[in-house]
Structure formats: C-alpha cells, structure tokens
Amino acid sequence: MELFLEINTEEMPGAHVKTALEQIEKGLRKKLKDVDLVDKNNKPGDIKTYGTCRRLVLCAETPAKQRSKQDVVIGPPKKVAFDKNNNPTSAAKGFARSNNVKVSDLEVIENKKGEYIGIKKEIKGEKAEKLLEEILPKLILDLSFPKMMRWGQSPLRFSRPIKNILCVFDGKPLAFKVGDKTASSHTYGHKLFFPKKIKVDSFKNYVSQLKQKKVLIDAEERKNRIEKQIKDKLSSLNARIYPDNELLEKITYDVEYPYVFLGEFPKNYLKLPIEILSTAMKVGQSLFSVVDKNNRQIPYFLGVTDGSPDSKLLVQKGNERVLKARLEDARFFWEHDLETPLEDKRALLQKIVFQEKLGTYDEKTKRIQKLARFLSKAAGTKEQSLVQAADLCKVDLITEMVREFPSLQGKSGGLYAKNQGYPVQVWKAIYEHYQPVSQDDPSPSTTNGAVLSIADKIDSIVGSFGIGLEVSGSKDPFGLRRNAQGICITILDHKISLTLTDLIQQSVSEYGSVLTKSQQELNHQCQAFFKDRLKYIYEKQGYRYDLVNAALEAGFDEIYHSFLRLKALDEIKDTPEFNSLIIVVKRVNNILKGQPKRVIKPDLFQEKHEIKLYTEYSTLKEKIFPLISAGDFRGAQEFILDIRSTIDLFFDHVLVMAEDPQLRKNRIALLRAISRLFSKVADYSQVVVDMDQL
Amino acid sequence: MSIQQLIMKLQEFWADQGCYLAQPYDLEVGAGTMTPDTFFRVIDQRDWNAAYVQPSRRPSDGRFGENPHRVQKHFQYQVIMKPSPSDIQERYLQSLRFLGIKIKEHDIRFDEDNWESPTIGAWGVGWQVLLDGLEITQFTYFQQAGGKDIFPVPVEITYGLERLEMFLEGKDNIYDLKWSDDVTYRDLRLLEEKEFSEYNFSQADINVLHKSFSMNVREARKLIRKGLLLPAYDMCLKCSHLFNLLDSRGAISVTERVKIISQIRALVVQITKKYTARGGS
C-alpha cells in the first residue's frame, strides 16, 4: 500500500535537505524492519525521497499489516497427555481448558527433550496504520541537521520551522502529531503563487497537483529544466555557462519551479579575470557567468527565478543593477590591490591568525617555506621559485578581494602575482596551492603548485591534531579530511615519491614546541587518518574494497606505492591464477595460525618438493625486494604467481604436520617466511574470493 | 517614495502588527540587535514586540563618500517579535506589499545566512532576503544572546533602509536617494561620510581609544558589581564601538583582537546572568 509524507518548512539550505532525505530513507527502512512491516523476504517495500528547500517528501510501498507470527504454547509431554490407547488424559484436558481450546486442537510438538503436546497460535499482525502513526513522528524527530534551531514556543528542533505535515496511507490521512503540528491530507502549492490548501489522496495526485501549483518535487526534474532553459537562452549567443556544479546544485534546491533569465553587464568589466567575474556573479546573487567557445567571458549572465517567468524583465533589470555595483566593487578591489606589490604586503601576515594556538599566517608561511624546501627534492623542482611562491602564497588573505570573496583565496594571489610580473613558476604555484578543494577539483597542474599544496595542507593537519583538535562524524571544522585527501590525490597525480612518516616528522619539527602531542603519538594518529582517506579515495575511484584493503594493509607509507600495489592487484583480479593464489594464501595462513616463529634450517629439508620450494623462495627473496623498492609491484606479483604452483606441489607431496617435530617446525618456518614475503606486496588474506568461480 | 515615507510606512505596518514603536538608541552601535530594546528583551522570558529605526555604525565600511553603496553609518529598521509568530514570513512579505512592491513580479529569495555577534555572545539562524538579487533584509531566529540559550525564540527582522530605498527608487547611487521630497541623502550625509572616514581611518587617536576602552571596561565591572546592569551594558556598547574604531585604524594585533572580543563578551555574559537571575527586571 502507498504511504507518502511531506514535511513543509520555511526555506532550508540545500545541504540540509539532502542529509534529511538520506536519513528519512535509511530511518524508515530500519523502523519498518523493526516493527515487521515487511514482505515475505523480510524486506521493506520501495522507498523514494524527494525534496525542495521547502519540502521533504517520502513515498513508500508497505504491506497493509505487520507480518503475522506463530506463537507456540507447550503443554505436558505426550506420554502424560495421552494414554496407551491414545485417549486424552486429564492432563491433556486440563491444558486444553486452561488455554481455551478443544482437545482435538492440540498438536504434537517435537523439541530437544522429546514429544510434547501443545498449541500453535497464529498471531495476526497489527494494522500498518497504527504502526506508522507511531513510527513516523519518531522518524521526523530523529532527523539531525548540521545546524539545528528552535522557533516560537515549539519544543522541536529542526532545520527551519515546520509549517505543515502531510501524511497519507492507502488514500487516507494518518493521524499523528509532531510538536504542535498534526498530520493531515492537505498541503500547499508554491508559497507566493498558490498559498491555498490543497487536498490530496494519492502520491500521483499529489505530484500532479503540485506541478500545476508551481512545485516540482523532484530535484532531477528541476535540474533538467534549468539545464534545458540555459541551453535555449544561450543558443543564439553561441555560448555556454562557465561550468559550476556547486552553483547548479544550490539553485536546484533553492527553487521549486525554475525559470531561467538572461542578463547583461557593461563590457568594460571584461578586463577582470574570469575567476573574479564568475565569483562576483555567484556569491550573493547565484548567477552563472557565460563564456564563448574559447572559454572567454562574454558580457552576459544567467539567473533563475522561482515560480514565474520574468515577463516584465524586472528581475533581469534588478539583477543587472546589483551585479553592476558588485562588479564595480570587484574592479576597485582588483585595481587597488594591484597597486601594492605582494611582497610589500607580506609583513601584514603577522596580523592574521591562522589558528589561535598555532599562531599567525606569518608563522605558517615560514613553516610552509621550510616544508616546501624539504619536499622539493622528492618532487624534483627548482628551489628558488618555490621558496618565493611559498613566501607569498598567503599574502592575498590581506587583499580586499579575498576579504570580499574568501573563495578566491589562492587564485587571487596568483592573479595578482601574474599581473605584477612574477614568473610563471611563482604565480601559478600560488594560484593552485589550495587545490584540490573538492572531489571534482583537479590537483595543481604544476610541480611547484603540488609541493606548495602538500606543504600547506600537512601543516594544517599536523598542527590541528597536534593541539588536540579532533575530526569525528560530521565534525571537521578545519576541513582536515579534505586536506588529507588533497595531499593524497596530489601525490598520486604527480607520482611524488615520499613517505608519510618523513612528511609528518618534518611538519612536526617545523612546529617546534607549539604542539602538545608527542611526535610518535601524532605520527600514529596521522597515519590512521591518511589510511582512512586513501581507502575513501580508492573506493570512490571504483576499486574493489577488498583489493583496497589488501593494498593498504601491506603498507601505504609511500602513498604513491599504495596505488601501484592496488593497480597490480586490480590488473589480475579476474584471472584464475589470482584466485588460486588467494586460496593457497588462505591455506598457508590457516596452518600458521597459533604457531610460534622459528628460524629455517635449510639442512633439515629432505623431500624433493620442499627443497624445490626453499630454493625458489630464496631466489624470490633476492629478486622481490629491489622490485618493491622500485615500486614495480606488477613484477613482484609475477614472481609470487610463479611460486604458487610450487607451493601447490609442496602441499600435494609433503606432509607439513610431519610426526618428527623438527621436520614439522622447519616446514612451518618455511611457509611463514614465504607468507611474510608475500605480505610485502599485498595482504592477500584480505581478498574475498568467489568460491563459485573455482 | 522617499526614505522618510518608507520609514513611516514601516512604522504604520509594524504598529498594526502589535509592535511598540521604540526610538533609536542614543549610543553608537554596530547593529539594531545591540540596543537594549532588543538585547535585554530577548534574554528574558516575557513576550516582546518592538520596531524602530536604528542608525548603525561600521567604521571600517567608510569610503570617504566615494563609493555609491558603502557607508560607515547606515539606517536599519529593526523588528523584534517574541515568541516568533508562526506566520512571520508571510507578515514580512505583507510588509513588502504594503510598501507597494508587487512581489509576484519580482524574485524573492530566502537565502541561508546565519548571523552571529561574538561580542554580545549572540547567534541565530535564518536568511538574507534577496529581492531581484539585492539583499534587503536580514531575517533571524535568535538562538542565543549573552551566551545563553533563548526561549521563547524571538525573530528579528532587519531591513536595510538604504538598500530598500535604492530598490524602490531604482537608483544606483546611495547619495542620490531622496530622504524627503526636497532633501537628498547627499545633502544629509555626504559631509558626515567624508569627515568620519577621515576620522575612522586616520585621525582617531589610538592611545585615546585604548585608554577609553580600558576605562569603560573598568566602569562596566564596577557597575555589574553594584547591580546597575543597564548602565553596565552601555559601557559594553561603548567598548564595542571603540574596538571597531581601533580595528579601522589597523591598531589591533592578532592576539589583541581575540582578547578584546572575549573581554567584552565576558562582561555581557555576566550582565545576562545577573539580569536573568533577578527575573529580567
């Protein structure tokens, strides 16, 4: 049966809507399972969610009733309840009477103790309505948002004030209360254009009525509508929008029924860099900037209105006027900032706090500089331009541009440096050093940029952890996860050969006595943190989780090597040889379980196949280490695959658990040595094998 | 419609909504929120509805009268209602209609913007209201003030009068606005902007500011001890403005900034505790 729910609120931020919808889906699934509102396979029905800034919507299929259960009441043993002639005794009659059933309804029930008589009762499931009326208020009250608020005299905490709750099950309203709101079968259309009550009885009817009343509940539909209208508006201009997924996503949730409009701005602002123009349009007014085929800004912008097209062009004119003022400001900042060379502003960094306990940006800059110098060798870049870039990379924090548009940090500095004639190795590194700022953002394109990015980020991570700041759940105030991911991705993209241990140690030592944690403790914490991030990155890139674990468990201190390990595993994951190897490894590990460590005594080997295995092991040992340190995990793995058949033969012909304890111990020692060698390449025991394929 | 007509209209509208029409507070403040008609009335538990114009000073926003929309003093229209009425958004939209704005022909957006004022230990959740891309109002459900959770929850609506007037007159330059039919914003304010920008950025004596600051802090402490909380709060407002002036003079170092803010905040928190302990009177 169809259940749907709409929580109508004042305008929520898009991020709140998204997290709430995820929680609603998961929460309902769990709660339906908990009360047994599930199908025969113990699964809840289909659950779908939709949302706008003013609505959280849920639509689900659920059974009409709770699954029925069988209750068994055990009575006296069969021997006691029936006599030799199979007639009921007084015990049976008494049991039947006390349970309000006839003697003929008694059944024989077998359990561990023997045969008993008893009664099987069918307990009918409760009606879904009743259960849902209990579940749904809890579901709503359990929602948590990045920032919660209260309003009026309501006892509730939510993202924004709740205005109305619609809830219909099987065509009829469900009756429950959340705070001072009672659920009903009505809702409202678009706030400005259709504020009157509408009554709904099915989800289909709800969706179609809302559509007529200027509300599209499906974000995908709104996004497509925006994209299509953008295309239409730009078709005659032979142009496209400057891509900005973040902005598109925001607008998609900010409006319930989008209409796109086109506007213009005076050409003289085109001399501003596109980064600045597009940011001035985006921040505040949420406008898209428009570029030609060569990605050059042209004097147009696109905006989105909610609920009605701008037929009198008032919205367009208004936005044009506001934008002109913003661009005028931006132009003023740009020209004013350019007047003073970056190095002349450098000293002002002493006035800006990086973090209360970690000091100023001047101090941070000095640490970044030293870290960059340390990293330059590993990355193979020239020191001088790098040191200059490091010295200036934070200066744009004191420019008016960044004060007005904080998201332009780094980029502004780079653009100023470029316009003030600094060499490309310097300005580009400054420009790129915050990258990657998100999953979609590329890592720095230049080596200098990459080095600066790593230096800046590790300094933030080590510093924050070093004074006891923690990252947990949704709490990550300094974006440390993003910073660590940024470091990993940059190292991977630039194939930088560097151990985390060295990087962390260097960063800790730049801090001197500022940090409250010991180097060892910090190293431990950072390693675990980076391991998690690498896992996240690799899985996001589509690698199998078990292969990711196998690669990381073998070591990730050399971040780039962890990727090579993973790639080597990934390349052979579907081959039969690989599966056989995994089986052998598991067998070896089972034998080794609980066995003490011992040294191999080569002269104790006597059988042909163990001698062969030992010889091959010795060769392998010599060959594999140079390959590993060169990062040739593919090559190392080839050798491991080669020795596998010898291990098979060993198992076929040699009895590991020999009666002679000397022989036994020696064979186990050999297997352990081989296992240890394997684990330098990957922890094969983490790999999950599909037994059916064997 | 001139600015003074705009003010009269808003007064009429919010008086009809049951607000008491307060007069502007007679000290320099950064925002209407800081005045006693808001601050002391949100930290107790009684109902409160008030509306008033509040001149607000932000010394570092001064531009010597040369920027068409940035000024070191502007006028806010402040509405405070506690508890927040459930239809407050609708009432607000109604106020715009009352000003003659045909909102269906425009684009009205409630865009996430959470307000906070660390010096008075206050924060809230809400939006900036955009009218065709122009920010005309700050709309906030107060959650904390004086470091204390507030309940019942007040809503604060702060109209930027100049912004709204620029929209109504369709003008690009703040100084071209009409205050009345024959007095412009330029006539009233240009000289003030020029002279105060000079004072804020160059002439304010840093030593004098520092000294006044410490004197006011001492005075506030004494007044708190004596239970004279309203005068003590005035001292905090003075400190806050002195801090803003020091800031625009570029005279505040990193560590000082943190220290000064927490110093004022601590005083306001003490005032709040004492004020609520004696039942908000």
Q: Coil, strand or helix: which one is A419? A: helix
Same-domain check for residues B168 and B221: no
Cβ contacts of A353 on chain B, cutoff 8 Å: 254, 257-258
The answer to whether the CB atoms of A360 and B111 lie below 8 A apart is: no
Residue with the bigger pLDDT between B223 and A399: it is B223
DSSP-derived 3-state class of residue B109: strand
Tokens of residue A11, six digits: 């305008």
Q: CA A52, CA A160: separation in Å to the nearest integer?
A: 13
- Mean pLDDT of all residues in B134-141: 97
- Closest to A636 in 3D by CA, of A688, A561, A686: A561
Same domain for B220 and B272, yes or no, is: yes
Q: Are B53 and B174 part of one and the same domain?
A: yes
Structure tokens at B262: 């927490």
- Condensed to tens digits (0 to 9), the pLDDT of residues B32-64 reads 999 999 999 999 999 999 999 999 999 999 999
Q: What is the pTM of this model?
A: 0.84
Q: How many distinct structural domains can be found in chain B?
A: 2
User: What mean pLDDT is predicted for residues B75-95?
Assistant: 98
CATH code (residue B45): 3.30.930.10
Last residue in a domain, options B167, B200, B233: B200
CA distance A349 to chain B (A): 10
Pairing of strands A288-291, A297-306: antiparallel
Give me the percent of chain A exceeding a pLDDT of 90.
74
Verify cis geometry, omega within 30 degrees of 0, for the bond prior to A576.
no
Do the chains contact at B133 and A325, CB–CB below 8 Å? no
Beta-sheet pairing, B73-82 with B116-117: unpaired
**DSSP category for residue A693:** G
Tell me whether residues B133 and A350 touch, CB distance under 8 A. no
Closest CA to B8 of B73, B110, B106, B95: B95
Instruction: Report pLDDT digits (tens) over A539-579.
Output: 999 999 999 999 999 999 999 999 999 999 999 998 889 99
Cβ distance of B68 and A328 shorter than 8 Å: yes
**The amino acid at B150:** I
Global ipTM: 0.95
Q: Helices A219-234 and A245-254 meet at what angle, rounded to 10?
A: 120
Task: Report the C-alpha gap between B252 and A655 in whole angstroms.
Answer: 81
Residue B280 clears pLDDT 80, i.e. is over it: no
The confidence score (pLDDT) of residue A694 equals 45
The predicted-structure confidence for A349-368, as pLDDT tens digits, reads as follows 988 888 888 988 999 999 99
Tell whether B98 and B189 lie within a shared domain. Answer: yes
Average pLDDT, chain B: 95
Record the tokens describing residue B252, joined without a space.
Answer: 């505040």
Answer yes or no: is pLDDT of A442 > 70.
Answer: yes
Cα-Cα-Cα-Cα torsion A398, A400, A405, A410, nearest 10 degrees, comes to -40
What is the Cα–Cα distance from A584 to A641, expressed in whole angstroms?
11
Closest CA to A163 of A186, A138, A145: A186
The pLDDT score that the predictor gives to residue B106 is 97
Over residues B107-122, mean pLDDT: 94
Task: Give yes or no: residues B134 and B82 share one domain.
Answer: yes
Res A80: pLDDT? 87
Are B172 and A150 a contacting pair at CB < 8 A?
A: no
Element spanning A122, H or E: strand A114-123
Tens of pLDDT, residue by residue over A384-433, are 899 999 999 999 999 989 988 999 999 999 999 999 999 999 999 999 99
Q: Would you give the end-to-end CA distance of chain A in angstroms?
A: 44
Q: Which CA distances in Å does A99 have to A74, A106, A115, A120, B224?
A: 11, 10, 19, 11, 76
Given a cut of 80, whether residue B255 has pLDDT beyond it is: no
Q: Could you tell me the residue range of the domain that residue B270 belongs to?
A: 204-277
Given a contact cutoff of 8 angstroms between Cβ atoms, the answer to whether B63 and B193 are in contact is yes
CB B257 to CB A353 under 8 A?
yes
pLDDT band (50, 70, 90) for residue B96: very high
pLDDT at A691: 60
CB–CB of A194/A309 below 8 Å? no
- Residue matched to tokens 């050059």: A296
DSSP E strand stretches across A265-399? 288-291, 297-306, 353-355, 359-360
**A13 CB near a chain B CB, below 8 Å?**
yes
Of B200, B224, B250, which closes a domain? Answer: B200
Chain B touched by A119 (CB under 8 Å)? no
Residues B140 and B10 in one domain: yes
Distance CA A140, CA A27 (A): 9
Handedness of CA A493, A494, A498, A502 (dihedral sign): negative
Considering the domain architecture, whether residues B158 and B239 belong to the same structural domain is answered as no
pLDDT digits (tens, 9 = 90+) for A22-67: 999 999 999 999 998 888 788 888 999 999 999 999 999 999 888 8
Q: Please, what is the Cα angle at A442 between A440 and A443, to 5 degrees? A: 135
Q: How confident is the model at residue A690 (pLDDT cuts 50, 70, 90)?
A: low
Residue finishing a domain among B176, B200, B224 = B200
Predicted confidence (pLDDT) at residue A693 exceeds the cutoff of 50 = no
Taking the C-alpha atoms of residue A391 and residue A217, their distance in angstroms, rounded to an integer, is 50
With 70 as the cut, is the pLDDT of residue B24 above it?
Answer: yes
Q: Give the count of Cβ contacts less than 8 A between chain A and B.
A: 104
Contact between residue A90 and residue A250 where contact means Cβ atoms under 8 Å apart: no
Q: Strand B20-21 relative to strand B48-57: parallel, antiparallel, unpaired?
A: parallel
From the CA of B204, how many Å to the nearest CA of chain A?
Answer: 20
From A66-70, B107-111, B194-198, the region with the lowest mean pLDDT: A66-70
Residues of B with CB under 8 A from a CB of A: 67-70, 83-86, 89-90, 93, 103-112, 114, 124-125, 127, 130-135, 141, 143, 151-153, 155, 167, 170, 172, 253-254, 257-258
Helix, strand, coil abundance in chain A, percent, nearest 5: 55, 15, 30
Tell me the CA end-to-end span of chain B in Å, nearest whole number: 40
Q: How far apart are CA A92 and CA A102, in angstroms?
A: 10
Average pLDDT over residues A519-533: 95
Same domain, B96 and B164: yes
Q: How far apart are CA B197 and CA B208, in angstroms?
A: 18
Interface test with B, best of A162, A322, A354 (most B CBs within 10 A): A322
Grade residue A474 by pLDDT with cuts at 50, 70 and 90. low
Flag if B125 and A193 touch (Cβ within 8 Å): no
- Residues 6 or more apart in contact with residue A267 via CB below 8 angstroms: A299
Do B112 and B45 fall into the same domain? yes
Burial A363-389 (b: 16+ CB within 10 A, else e): bbbbbbbbbbbbbbebbebeeebbbbb
CATH number of the domain that residue B268 is part of: 1.20.58.180
CA neighbor of A610 nearest in space, from A624, A600, A599, A597: A600
**Are residues B257 and B218 part of one domain?**
yes
Contacts of B151 (CB under 8 A, 6+ apart): A150, A153, B45
C-alpha to C-alpha distance for B141 and B156, rounded to whole angstroms: 6
B134·A152 Cβ contact <8 A: no
Nearest-Cα residue of chain B relative to residue A255:
B109
Please choose, from the candidates A85, A71, A75, A79, the residue with its C-alpha nearest in 3D space to the C-alpha of residue A106: A75
CB contact under 8 A, A314 and B153: no
Inform me whether the pLDDT recorded for B281 exceeds 70.
Answer: no
Q: How many CB atoms lie under 10 A from the CB of residue B199?
A: 17
From chain A, the residues in CB contact with B258 under 8 A are: 353, 356
> In terms of domains, do B196 and B209 share one?
no
pLDDT at A632 over 90: yes
Q: Does A332 touch chain B (CB under 8 A)?
A: yes
Omega cis (within 30) before B83: yes
Nearest one of A95, A90, A88 to A73, comparing CA atoms: A95
**Range B224-262 burial, b when 16+ CB lie within 10 A, else e:** beeeebeebbbbbbbbbbbbbbbbbbeebebebbeebee
Chain B: give the shortest CA distance to residue A180, in Å: 11
Residue that is written with structure tokens 């000294």 in the block: B211
Q: Give yes or no: residues B194 and B234 share one domain.
A: no
Does residue A692 surpass a pLDDT of 60? no
> Could you count the other beta carbons within 10 Å of the beta carbon of residue B60?
14
Distance from CA of A50 to the nearest CA of B (A): 20
Overall average pLDDT of the A173-201 stretch: 95
The count of residues in chain A is 694
Of B84, B93, B106, the CB nearest to A318: B106
Q: In what helix (H) or strand (E) does residue A661 lie, and over which residues does it extend?
A: helix A661-678
